[in-house]
Amino acid sequence: MSSASTFPYQDATLAIEQRVEDLLSRLELADKAGLLFHTMTSVSDPTVINTEFTLPSLTSMITERRMNHFNLLGSTPTGREFAAWQNSIQRIALTSPLGIPITFSTDPRHSFTDNPGTAILAGPFSQWPEPLGLGAIGSDELTRTFGDIARQEYVAVGIRVALHPQIDLATEPRWSRANGTFGEDAELTSRMAVAYIRGFQGDEIGSTSVSTITKHFPGGGPQKNGEDAHFPYGREQVYPGGMFEHHLKPFEAAIDAGGRQMMPYYGMPVGTPYEEVGFGFNKSVLTGLLRERFAFDGIICTDWGLITDVEMMGAPMAARAWGVEHLTREERMLKILDAGADQFGGEDCTDLLLGLVADGRVTEARLDVSVRRLLREKFALGLFENAFADEDRAEIVVGNDEFRAAGLAAQRASLTLLTNGTAPDAPMLPLTKGIRVYTEGVAPESLEGFATSAARPEDADVAILRLKAPFDFRPDGLESYFRAGSLAFPPEELDRIAALAAVVPTVVDIYLDRPAILTEMVEFVPAIVANFGAADSALLTVLFGDDEPQGSLPFDLPRSMAAVEAGREDVPFDTKDPVFRFGHGLRYRR
């Protein structure tokens, strides 16, 4: 045993299973209960209560509730400050008698998404296109490179678990979570999932790995009417095309690739052989399908907030207890454990679990099944050997020039050229440098080196408009961040763009966080580019011909809302006569 070791579990020369059993034998019941909770916390003062998300102080969760798995909200200005904050929190945890280190996790934080319920802004990290953009590029090698760079940045600041990849199939065009997927195609998504996981985890898990939580098993895409299961009106997943098995394909690939952890979605399956309750409560899915059929023995962490009603961002947020709304909080917890899950995502009610054990409704042996998996992961990641981040290294690694350049190159490569001119022999792009450009959604200073800015369309040679895919705004709390509803541009917006295009040749760049209906726009806008997260500089570099558009659509773009509504939620490529097909993407003619 190492001279620095007091107990066998602290001896890195021993087998992980031996260390797990030794530590397990020393845990108090409260320690075991704390391990089963994985909730959010802010990168901020750990003594302060977070009222926006109804969270206790981080210090109290560590010292009183004995929790040690936290999903990080927010960021710091630099990698050094991020690492220093993480180290300060680990010091709090390591003062406990057994010195169990914290496992910090995060939602995606390398792209452009601004929905705090699904992702974090890039901040000091390198910035890349959304996963849809990686799907548009379609390169296994590039996706693994992204995963490896993100891994290095995460590890540098002490983040060791990724609450991603999201490998749902975006078969329902209205669904607001398409942005985090690789698109609509099962084969493409499966390839991307494997490359992504291997980029984060490496060929085998270890002290420089980031463990991935693949989501959302068994596929969260087939949402009834495209509504999201964060909310009661989106609780049902439907399979009118009988394609439940089709949505499992990427998850099979992820498991085969060594994905360590899995998260089921909120939705409840309707019209299938499986129990009609949310997947986090669903024993027929988590045990029967995931554990038994696919022989998955990794960690299952539920999606956030299945047990407790809260107030979030100033609005009531009911527990996503779909199909079991009538159950008490204790009964919901029992059902989750019986289903086969190991962690309660987004919950901190350790007292509830301890009460169930005290009442004899949950055995300590059942807790031990999950505790073993959770401890095994901490040991495999090397957290007991070194829970601290190297602050000097974090300053060098996070957002360095090489990583930022790679992210910008990927942004450029993901740009997808949908139309280019009014005729094949009259392309509008690439543009000529030095022209006068009227812009909307482009910072005027970004034009430097490309063109001069014109204040009015009438004074310009070309107009460049940066737009976002349409959605119906929903005003309350977290709901306001989910881009849902119609995919069609309002008539008044189309009229405005048509009037502008009548004055000056116009290029439209549209951010597709889900499909958009461009049927009318293609009639009067000569050049349309799709982006999946791209800075002005990335776009202009391609528009002015210093680089090529290389992307291909990762999903169909429907012709009308009527076609969308007639499509079957679980069936890929199921809208009639789309304007642009999956895989469409033009190249410049040189």
**Domain spans, the chain:** 8-397, 415-566
Q: pLDDT in tens for each of the 590 residues of the chain?
A: 444 578 999 999 999 999 999 999 999 999 999 999 999 999 999 999 988 888 999 999 999 999 999 999 999 999 999 999 999 999 999 999 999 999 999 999 999 987 877 888 899 999 999 999 999 999 999 999 999 999 999 999 999 999 999 999 999 999 999 999 999 999 999 999 999 999 999 999 999 999 999 999 999 999 999 999 999 999 999 999 999 999 999 999 999 999 999 999 999 999 999 999 999 999 999 999 999 999 999 999 999 999 999 988 888 899 999 999 999 999 999 999 999 999 999 999 999 999 999 999 999 999 999 999 999 999 999 999 999 999 999 999 999 999 999 999 999 999 999 999 977 778 999 999 999 999 999 998 999 999 999 999 999 999 999 999 999 998 888 888 899 999 999 999 999 999 999 999 999 999 999 999 999 999 999 999 999 999 999 999 999 999 999 999 999 999 999 999 999 999 999 999 999 999 999 999 76
DSSP labels, 546-574: SS------SS-B-S-HHHHHHS-TTSTT-
**Helical packing angle, 140-157 and 401-414, nearest 10°:** 140
Report residue 542: phi and psi, to 5°. Answer: -80, -45
Per-residue b/e over 356-381, b at no fewer than 16 CB within 10 Å?
bbeeeebeeeebbebbbbbbbbbbbb
Q: Per DSSP, which regions of 282-380 are E strands?
A: 299-300, 310-312, 315-317, 344-345
Taking the domain 415-566, which CATH number applies?
3.40.50.1700
Report H helices in 322-363. Answer: 329-339, 350-358
- pLDDT value for 590: 64
Nearest one of 331, 289, 285, 288 to 306, comparing CA atoms: 331
- pLDDT value for 390: 98
User: Is 8-397 CATH 2.10.10.90?
Assistant: no
d(CA 80, CA 86): 10
- pLDDT value for 3: 43
Nearest one of 116, 117, 147 to 134, comparing CA atoms: 147
- pLDDT value for 313: 83
- pLDDT value for 1: 43
* Segment holding 366, helix H or strand E: helix 364-380
HSE of 14, CA atoms in CB hemisphere, 13 A: 20
Residues marked as catalytic: 303
